[in-house]
Amino acid sequence: MIRYVDELGLFLLPFALFFIFLALSGREIFAPEHWRGARGWLAIAGVVLAIAGLVTQTLLLERHGGIYRPARLENGRLVPGGFDAPAAKP
């Protein structure tokens, strides 16, 4: 879930920076004429940042080296799934 929040934050970052730029330059923040030409470029920059963040997380995050065991029913009780540690090589 947190991964999706990160990607959404990266997508919205160019819009937030442009918002701050408009505020600091003394322009009217919500005036449509300031946003008309910039929306497309901001969206493209947001998508590029989100993809770059996704690729970076995929390459740098720790991977589980064990075997995944899915959740299962044993004797009528739900046993949660998870990763088992890899077997040690002799």
Q: What does DSSP assign to residue 28?
A: -
**% the chain with pLDDT above 70:** 93
Q: Give the alpha-carbon dihedral of 37, 39, 40, 41, to 10 degrees.
A: 80
CA 85 centroid distance within chain: 28
Instruction: Decide if 90 is inside a domain.
Output: no
Q: Is the pLDDT of residue 15 over 90?
A: yes
Mean pLDDT of all residues in 34-57: 92
Residue 66 banded pLDDT, cuts 50, 70, 90: confident
State the pLDDT at residue 72.
93
Residue listed under structure tokens 């999706």 = 4
The total of structural domains in the chain comes to 1
Instruction: Decide if 89 is inside a domain.
Output: no
Instruction: Decide if 62 is inside a domain.
Output: yes
Residue-range definition of the domain harbouring residue 76: 2-84
